[in-house]
Structure 1
Amino acid sequence: MNFNQRLLTAFIAPAALFVAGLAASIWSLAQTQSKFDHYITTEQATASGLQDMYAHGLQMGQALRNILLDPNNPQALKNLEGARAAFDAAYTATQAAAAGTPTAATLAPLAGLRAEQAQAQDKVLALAKTSVPDAVLMLNAEETPAWRKLRGELLALGKTSKELSSQTHEAVNADADRARAVALALALLAVSVAVLLGVMVRRTLKREIGGDPAAARLALRRIADGDLSGATPPVNDADSLMGALAAMQTSMRNLVGQVQASSVGIEAASQEIASGNQDLSARTEQAASNLEETAASMEQLTSTVRQSADAARQANQLA
């Protein structure tokens, strides 16, 4: 893995873990919200419906007794009818809320118990029109026992519903705690990975650079300005940037030394060449002078030979 890949990993890995933690938290939150909504619309709604039915049952009993106290009181009859309708509405709503749950089957007996109570109430109302004492006897003989059975069933169901509601609430809280724990664990893991990768990247940078980047920048600037005499920071790894920089400075310093030595040799050779050129010029002038003297001697010799030839020819003619 090269440096760029390690650097990308150092940024991507923690980000991926944070995203995973966020996704897990969102998913857990959605699941918890779904369970909580189910709890509100089923267990909580069922418990509330049972409480409402119990309250309306008490209202029916109170209204029925008010009727027996004053059979001509229309408000008492109106209150009874309202309580009966409210009980039936609460039962219907509770059945709808518990549909599809184990609680739905436990609500079925309430319909029979309520019908039995309603029949007893109708008998009491019918007798109240003709004989209040007989209506009271009917109330005690049939309506009150019917209500007690219905009330007992309502209380038992309410207790069961409360226990189930408590269990569901605890389960929802446990899921929420578990979701928080998972999110926290992923966050801690992401932080740990980020710290670990940060340390690894720091070590990689230190190994690749070989020292403080600021020191490397200053050394490069000094070399770029032509100063090869300064000392580079201590280097532990010759393969690092600082090691290569120190090696480059040493090589450039040696090269400059070689160039200086070569320039001295070139200067000496130039002086020797200049001296040789002067000596050659003097020798050339001397040779030219000698050639001129030789030419003059040759002309003189030629003249002498010509004179000798003329003398010989004249001698031949005289002979």
Structure 2
Amino acid sequence: MKLKNLPVRTGFIAVLSLFGMLVLVTALLGIYSLTKNNGLSERISTLNAETVDLKDVYINNLKARSALSRAFIALSTNPADKDAAVAAARTYYDLAKKSFGAFENITEETAAQQDAAKRVADTFTAHANAIDLLFTAIGSGNVAAYAATNEGPMTQTSAAFGKSADAFFKVAEDETAQLKDEKAHAKSLLMGVAIGLLVLSCALILLVYYTLEHTVVLPLKEAMSVLQHVARGDLTVQIRHESSNEIGQLFDSMKEMKRSLAGIVHAVYGGTDTIATGVHQMASGNTDLSQRTEEQAAALQETASSMEQLTSTVRQNADNAKQATQLVMSTAMITEQGNRAAQEVVATMQGLSDLSGRIADITNVIEGIAFQTNILSLNAAVEAARAGDEGRGFAVVASEVRSLAQRSASAAKEIKERITDSLGRVEAGAQQVDKASQVMADILTSVNRVSDLMGEIAAASEEQSEGIEQVNRAITQMDQVTQQNAALVEQASAAALALEEQTVALKSTVSVFRVERALAPA
């Protein structure tokens, strides 16, 4: 496995384990060295303690012998000082035995120490027995016994104890020197091992630093550089890394992030172009729609105004139709009266036709008839005048009747000569009156039909007026809705313009990113 493919976690665990082992070895070595040095120091301290105790025994024995010598001298020179000297000797002797007891309580480590200590113990026992004899001789005041003991056993045991003590001192000195040498050797070994561990630690530190620098730090710096390029919007930066550890996985994730971000930016580029085009078209369409809606609103207002005028006109037509219906009804009444008058004239003319055969006998009657005919003609003229245009033909007839009556009155004298002509004229007048009666009947029928039609026109005009009012209300509502639609279109146009501005801003923001040519927007 290549070093660059080593997982970072495994590397850190290995480094920590290695340094942990170094720390453990150093700790164990330190504990071992400390234990050994403590053991050596304790052994040296034990030897020193035994040497000190033995020296105390030797010195206190010498002091006890010296005090006993002063007590011996005091026996012959100053007996009063004997007790003080003996007490001092006893004190020194007790100290010597106490020091010897401490010496014996110390355990010897080596066989040489044990042998030397045994000889010291044996010589000290013999020497102590000799000292006890001296204390006995001094206590009894036996000068001869003291002198014999002091010159014999005392001198021999003291020499033997001194030689054994010197032998022990020699053994202790040799072993102390040996222990000091071992301690120095252990110290040198420990120093060498410590220096070796220090050198190994330095080498491991350099190796770890080199490894981290090339497997972690430099790739992380490269990753930081890539991320800085991406943060500046540069998506064209190349990401090259061949390791398969966590750093390699990081670079693979960065490559995937770059591809995804480039795709998103490309999609945003395309989306912003499409949105910008759509929003621009929407804004243009909204502007056109707003103008058309305003034009439609104006047209609806004009239509509403026209419908109001039309409503007013239809109402006037309805009123006029009602008035015309009333006039037609009045005309129908007048026409009916004229018809009755015409029927009466027809009856009269028929009577005249019947009486024309007897004109020769009743000339006077003819004058009366002429007078009455004149009156009737005047009435007929009045009725014809009341009938207006419809009674114009009747007025003509009435005028002719009046003319005939006048002529009948003026020509009464000539009736006989013109009786034949008069009969013809009477017959002609009767036919004209029949025609007039028929015309009046037709006029009455037409007037009735006109009255019916005018009633229907008036009803239709009222219905038309109501329908136009409803249409007017609907157009008014359409005008309001159209105005609201115009306001909404203006709002939509403003929103489209704002969206277009936001799209331009978004496109400007996204334009910070630079992508490869394959993904760059057209």
TM-score band, normalised by shorter chain: 0.5 to 0.7
Which one has a bigger Cα radius of gyration? 2
Q: Secondary structure at the match of 1:211?
A: helix
> Following the alignment from structure 2 to structure 1, what is the Cα–Cα distance between the partners of residues 175 and 51?
8
Choose 216-225 or 5-14, whichever is displaced more: 216-225
5+ residue gaps, structure 2: 1-5, 109-113, 274-522
Q: In the alignment, does 2:219 pair up with 1:217?
A: no
Aligned AA (2:170): E
Aligned AA (1:162): F
Alignment of 1:259-298 (within 5 A): none
Query: Deviation digits for residues 234-293 of structure 1, max 9, x if unmatched?
Result: x8x73284898599669958x959x97xx89xx9xxxxxxxxxxxxxxxxxxxxxxxxxx
Aligned AA (1:145): G
> Following the alignment from structure 2 to structure 1, what is the Cα–Cα distance between the partners of residues 227 and 22?
34
> Following the alignment from structure 1 to structure 2, what is the Cα–Cα distance between the partners of residues 4 and 27?
34
Q: In the alignment, what sits opposite 1:302?
A: none
Q: In the alignment, what sits opposite 2:84?
A: 78
Counterpart of 1:69 (choices 45, 67, 77) is: 77
Q: Check whether the contact 2:123–2:161 (CA below 8 A) recurs between aligned residues.
A: no
Q: In the alignment, what sits opposite 1:189?
A: 196
Alignment of 1:297-308 (within 5 A): none
> Following the alignment from structure 1 to structure 2, what is the Cα–Cα distance between the partners of residues 172 and 118?
38
Counterpart of 1:153 (choices 145, 160, 169) is: 160
Q: In the alignment, does 2:183 pair up with 1:170?
A: no
5+ residue gaps, structure 1: 129-134, 268-319
For residue 27 of structure 1, report the CA deviation from its aligned partner.
Answer: 1.5
For residue 210 of structure 1, report the CA deviation from its aligned partner.
Answer: 7.3
Aligned AA (1:147): M
Q: What's the TM-score once normalised by structure 2's chain length?
A: 0.40
Counterpart of 1:98 (choices 99, 104, 112) is: 104
Q: In the alignment, what sits opposite 1:111?
A: 125
Q: Secondary structure at the match of 1:177?
A: helix
For residue 149 of structure 1, report the CA deviation from its aligned partner.
Answer: 1.6
Q: Check whether the contact 1:117–1:147 (CA below 8 A) recurs between aligned residues.
A: yes
- How many percent of aligned residue pairs carry the same amino acid? 12
Q: What's the TM-score once normalised by structure 1's chain length?
A: 0.61
Query: Deviation digits for residues 16-38 of structure 1, max 9, x if unmatched?
Result: 22322332233224323432442
Counterpart of 2:242 (choices 238, 245, 251) is: 238
> Following the alignment from structure 1 to structure 2, what is the Cα–Cα distance between the partners of residues 176 and 138?
53
Q: In the alignment, what sits opposite 1:15?
A: 23
> Following the alignment from structure 2 to structure 1, what is the Cα–Cα distance between the partners of residues 153 and 76?
18
Residues 65 and 200 of structure 1, relative CA distance in 2, 3 Å threshold: same
Q: Secondary structure at the match of 2:218?
A: coil
Residues 91 and 110 of structure 1, relative CA distance in 2, 3 Å threshold: same
For residue 83 of structure 1, report the CA deviation from its aligned partner.
Answer: 0.8
Residues 61 and 146 of structure 1, relative CA distance in 2, 3 Å threshold: farther
> Following the alignment from structure 2 to structure 1, what is the Cα–Cα distance between the partners of residues 74 and 56?
27
Q: Check whether the contact 1:222–1:228 (CA below 8 A) recurs between aligned residues.
A: yes
> Following the alignment from structure 2 to structure 1, what is the Cα–Cα distance between the partners of residues 233 and 68?
107
> Following the alignment from structure 1 to structure 2, what is the Cα–Cα distance between the partners of residues 23 and 169?
23
Q: In the alignment, what sits opposite 1:206?
A: 213
Q: Check whether the contact 1:66–1:76 (CA below 8 A) recurs between aligned residues.
A: yes
Q: In the alignment, what sits opposite 1:56?
A: 64
> Following the alignment from structure 1 to structure 2, what is the Cα–Cα distance between the partners of residues 110 and 209?
78
> Following the alignment from structure 1 to structure 2, what is the Cα–Cα distance between the partners of residues 147 and 6?
76
Residues 90 and 211 of structure 1, relative CA distance in 2, 3 Å threshold: same
Residues 125 and 256 of structure 1, relative CA distance in 2, 3 Å threshold: closer
Residues 45 and 226 of structure 1, relative CA distance in 2, 3 Å threshold: farther
> Following the alignment from structure 1 to structure 2, what is the Cα–Cα distance between the partners of residues 118 and 248?
101
Aligned AA (1:177): A
Query: Deviation digits for residues 81-140 of structure 1, max 9, x if unmatched?
Result: 431453254135314423554244212233234434543564466456xxxxxx3x6655
> Bigger relative contact order, structure 1 or 2, given CA contacts below 8 A and separation 6+?
1
Q: Check whether the contact 2:130–2:157 (CA below 8 A) recurs between aligned residues.
A: no
Q: Check whether the contact 2:71–2:86 (CA below 8 A) recurs between aligned residues.
A: yes
